[in-house]
Structure 1
Amino acid sequence: MLQWTTFNDGPRFAMIVHHTDAEPEFAYDREVPVGKLDKASDEAPSRGWTVVDIKSDWQTVYPVAKP
């Protein structure tokens, strides 16, 4: 889907949400039984895909209101 989205010219946005925080969700990366993120991680920089890391970046993307 990322390849298809960014194949043609014109405005495009391709983002990978990298689930690295196993506390609230399931973390996935290169060495997991399902949801491996190996090929996309390798290709992201050269293809201009944005990678958002749940554990370290998500507060910046979607801040949680503090009481």
Structure 2
Amino acid sequence: MTLKLGPLADDKPVKVTIDVPAEVYRDLTAYAEAHAVATNQTSQGPAKLIVPMIAQFMATDRGFAKARRS
């Protein structure tokens, strides 16, 4: 399976508190499990995926990149 998110860096934990709809949480949990299988890592849970997912989203968002250059 190929996922957009690569292996997670082993860094200091950062606490993030957000409210997400139950459906989004279930999807994040399923993604975390699929990510663990795809990268041969132990699942770190959905919370650990949020920052890398946002970073990946921003890195590939052409509109955001264009706005940053302006």
TM-score, normalised relative to structure 1: 0.34
Q: Which has the higher strand share?
A: 1
Question: Which TM-score applies when normalising by structure 2?
Answer: 0.33
- Relative to total residues, which structure has the larger helix share, 1 or 2? 2
